[in-house]
Every structure is written in structure tokens, then in C-alpha cells.
Amino acid sequence: MARTVAAMSVYTSTLSGERHRFVSLARLLAAASPERSGDRLAGLAASSARERVAARWALAEVPLATFLTEPVIPYETDDVTRLILDTHDPVAFAPVAGMTVGELREWLLSEAADAEALTALAAGLTPEMVAAVSKLMGNADLVAVARKVRVVTAFRSTIGLPGRLATRLQPNHPTDDPAGVAAALLDGLLLGSGDAVIGINPATDSPKAVRDLLELLDGVITRYGIPTQSCVLSHVTTSVDLMERGAPVDLVFQSIAGSQAANASFGVTLGLLDEAYEAALALDRGTVGRNVMYFETGQGSALSADAHHGVDQQTVETRAYAVARRYQPLLVNTVVGFIGPEYLYDGRQILRAALEDHFCGKLLGLPMGLDICYTNHADADDDDIATMLTMLGVAGASFVICTPGGDDIMLNYQSASYHDALYLREVLGLRPAPEFEAWLGSIGLLDERGAIREVAAHPLTAIGRGLAA
């Protein structure tokens, strides 16, 4: 059994007669984190399996209120910390204010924590509280709690309704060739993909190239009356510039991270994001909702930018969600396996991170989706994609990213395929976003069970016929 004492920010724990000491809340969180290569690279990981469990014993006894008085990155020097503490809602926090981290885990798993209670709690939780409780949870716990949370957002389609799974259609091309993009777009639409967003990672950030892609996507969406939104994932300053010039920007995208310095490495500040958010709202291009932002995050980005401040990669990732929720985004996804094996070594570590990110994002009130993916130097393969996809489908992920054949030829990594999304919808009985589902039905792409038909000579192939000629 373990005995734990906290005094003056030093946490100690005695496990089977061996005493362990953690000199700060950040060190305690890091030592309690499930093993991953990025924390070892940063020199933050537990030095032994015993120390890791001892840290969890100590963490379980930390009162949640401690997280409001002991920020892991100083309030004075970090605007993400200020955002977290300045917007904390004590009324929402009240139901759990007297709990420890271990007690919060048990309450989250209990029947009392239903969809309504979890929605009401979101503004009372800080990222660090959520990261802490995730470290005490097994993979099954992360699924069980996340699937109870409801986060619904909307623009031209509605994301996050019970029994639904949306997809981002990602028709990337290494040179942004419009014909190549259109070909991959047609492929995805015919396989029922694209209800979360049709989103392109451009090869360059040049405003002209980005605008050309925006016009292409807007043209297809308008011509075929597709109830979805487009996004070209360029830097936020490019989007602001293009909105000023009247380009058809549906969603403003930005990669974000969990510290001010890491965000600076992405060239963003909260002020810039505020400005972009206001500009996108003013365009008022949504039809069924006004969620206009799209964010991507991912464990390891703060360490990669040398901006993690001694905080473990999962905790600092969760802090990015505080940035995201300020803007009531339509979509947020972690690009969980993209960063490489120095941060998440293999399929097991990527799966764990995917479940953590989804759980933490949902608990903080975000419409959390995932890019379930790996690079060729990570120890993972398409079976890991299937495993992750299935667990995240059960966990109620808002959306997943899909590419042709699961192979992104622009970013050079493997993600889920359009087929994978068909599989997930089939085995779990999940349906597309309702507006998009109705559209698929109206153009004859759904069979009598509501599944995507295999079609020949569909009218949509007109998108491709012009290119093929």
C-alpha cells in the first residue's frame, strides 16, 4: 500500500517500503504519465515502473483545488496559463471542488456523471485536472467516460450528435494541382466522406494558391449543394488576409499548442486568433450553426519547439484545449501519430495518446476528432489504424480524418481511409451528420439500410469527367 504526503509543493509517496519524491506538481504529473518516448526524450519520464505507480498513488490524493493554485507553467510568463485560470468557472467547478484526482476518476465513471452533468462541469475543469485524472485511467476508462460526453457543433452540417460519426475528406496533392485535388475529392464523396469538412493541407502557404483551392472547394460545395464546409489549412494570418479580400473562407484553421512559447513557434498569439475568429464570424457563411474555427493539436509539439517548460507532453497537449475552447470551434483534432517515434514510439503509445487526447478534449467541452495515423519510421501499421479507429469509434469520436487508400501523398504519412470510415459506420451502426446524410440520400448514394452504395456512372462523376477529358 502507499502513503502520500504533500507539503510545500513536494509530493512524496511510499510504495512497498520504497520512498519516492516529486519536487513539483509538474514533475508528479510527468512521472505518473503512461510511458512514451517523448517524455523520455525530455528527461521527464518516471525512472522506473515502480516510480510511475508511486506517482499515481500520490497524484490520486492531490485535491483538485491544488491545480488552481499551482500552475505547471507560471501565470506571469505564459498567456495560456492566464487563459486557463482567468476563465475558470467556480460555479461549474462546485460539484467536484472537494474531490481529489482519484475521487474525480471514480465520479466520472459513476452513473451520476451523465451527459448533462458532464456538460455542466466542462467550464469548471482545467486542462491540468483533466490530464491528471486521465493518468489514473485505463484505456477502457477513457472510452467509457468519453462516450458519455455530448459536444454538438454546427456550420452547414451538425457534428457530434449521438449515433453519428463525421469524416474530414482530405484530398491533398503534393503540388496543389486542382485536377489532382478534384479527383481525390470525387473519390471521397462517392465513398460518403466529407461531412465534418473537406480540408486540404496546401503544399505552400501562398495566398494565391490557397485562394485557388478555396474557390475550387466552394465551387463544388455550391454547385452540388453539399451541406458541408471547406477549409484550406493555411496559417491564420493567411486566412485573415484572404477574408479581407473576399475569398470564400468557411472555417479558419490553425495549429495550436499548450504554451505561449509553443504557440509563438507556430507564429500565433491569442490576439491573432481573436482577430481571425471575429472576422470569420462576421462572414456568417454557416447555415445551421456559427462554429467557425478548426484547430489541430498533437502531443510532442511543445517539446519539438523547445517550449514545454518541463511539463510532460500529454499535460501540455491538454493545455492547448484551453486555447481551442475559447473560440467555440466546429472541429478540433489531434494529429496523434504524425509527429514520429521520438514522441510516440509505436502503435501502443499512439493508441494511448489518441484515447487520452479524445477524452481530455471532450471533458473540456471540445468537438474532438482525430487524425488516426502513423509515419513509416514509427513501429505501427494499418492494423494499428483499425484498432485505434474501433476504440475511438466506441469512445464516440466526433470525426476522423480520411485519405484515399489511407495514404497521404502530400504529407507522406498513413491515416485512415475512406473505406475505414465505411467499416466503422457499419460495425458500430454510426451514421453521417444528418444534413450530409440527407444529401447523400438525395443523390442516390445511400442504399435501403442507409449505407453507402457502390455506384457506377453516378452524376457526381461529372466532377471528374471534365478533368478526364
Partner 1 sequence: MNQLPENTVDRTNHRDPGDSANPGESANPANPASTDDFALWAALRRHTQARIGLGRAGCGLPTRHRLELQAAHAAARDAVHSPFDPDTVAAALTGMPSVRVRSAAPDRLAYLQRPDLGRRLHPTDRAHLPAGEWDVVFVVADGLSSRAVHEHAAAVVRATVSLLPADFRVAPVVLAEQARVALGDDIAWAMDAAMVVVLVGERPGMSAADSLGAYLTYRPRPGITTDADRNCLSNIRPPLGLTYEGAAGKLAALLGRARELGLTGVGLKDESDHEHVIGRLP
107 touching partner 1, by CB under 8 A:
no
CA-nearest of 14, 16, 460, 440 to 227 is 440
Return the number of the residue (282 or 462) whose C-beta is nearest partner 1: 462
Nearer to partner 1, 52 or 148 (CB): 52
- Are 455 and 444 contacting, i.e. CB atoms less than 8 angstroms apart? yes
Binding to partner 1, residues 288-307 (CB under 8 A)? 304
Q: Is the Cβ of residue 270 or residue 422 nearer to partner 1 in the bound state?
A: 422
Q: Does 341 bind partner 1 (CB under 8 A)?
A: yes
Q: Which of 87/412 has CB closer to partner 1?
A: 412
Cα dihedral angle (132, 133, 135, 136), rounded to 10 degrees?
Answer: 140
Exposure on the CB side of residue 243, measured as CA atoms within 13 A: 26
Under rule CB under 8 A, residue 407 binds partner 1: yes
Gap between the Cα atoms of 455 and 284, Å rounded: 35
**Contact range with partner 1 by CB under 8 A, out of 148-156, 210-218, 308-316, 459-467:** 459-467
Residue nearer to partner 1 on the CB measure, 199 or 341: 341
Report CA Rg, the chain: 22
| Piece of the chain touching partner 1 by CB under 8 A; list 21-29, 91-99, 110-118, 461-469 | 461-469
Q: Taking CB under 8 A as the rule, does residue 1 contact partner 1?
A: no
| 197-200 and 230-232 beta bridge pairing | parallel
Q: Which three cell numbers stand for residue 141?
A: 476508462
Name the packing angle between helices 207-223 and 236-244 (round to 10°). 70
| DSSP structure string for 267-330 | T--HHHHHHHHHHHHHH---SS----EEEEE-TTHHHHTT--TT--HHHHHHHHHHHHHTT--S
Binder among 17, 76, 377, 429 for partner 1 (CB under 8 A): 377
Query: Which residue from 77, 287, 376, 442 is in contact with partner 1, where contact means CB under 8 A?
Result: 376
> With binding defined as CB under 8 A, does residue 443 bind partner 1?
no
Using rule CB under 8 A, residue 208 touches partner 1: no
Q: How long a stretch of residues is the chain?
A: 469
Q: Is 284 exposed, middle or buried (0-12, 13-18, 19+ CB in 10 A)?
A: exposed
Q: Which stretch binds partner 1 (CB under 8 A): 52-60, 100-108, 326-334, 403-411?
A: 403-411
> Is 183 an interacting residue with respect to partner 1 (CB under 8 A)?
yes
* Grid-cell match 473576399, residue found: 246
449 contributes a contact to partner 1 by CB under 8 A: no
| Contacts of partner 1 in 36-55 (CB under 8 A) | 37, 40-41
Contact 431, 163 (CB under 8 A): yes
State the CB neighbour count (10 A cutoff) for residue 110. 11
- The yes or no reply on residue 382 touching partner 1 (CB under 8 A) is yes
Taking Cα atoms as reference points, which of 287, 315, 284, 288 lies closest to residue 302? 315
Residue 177 engages partner 1 in binding (rule: CB under 8 A): yes
Nearest approach in angstroms of CB 191 to partner 1 is 8
Among 375, 390, 430, 443, binds partner 1 (CB under 8 A): 375
Q: 32 — alpha (psi -120 to 50), left (phi > 0) or beta?
A: alpha
Nearer to partner 1 by Cβ, of 310 and 405: the residue is: 405
Least separation, in Å, of the C-beta of 382 and partner 1? 7
Half-sphere exposure (Cβ direction) of 19: Cα atoms closer than 13 Å: 5
Contacting positions for partner 1 (CB under 8 A):
37, 40-41, 171-174, 177, 179-184, 186-187, 191, 203-204, 304, 341-342, 345, 375-377, 381-382, 403-407, 409, 412, 414, 417, 419, 422-423, 426, 454-457, 461, 464-465, 467-469
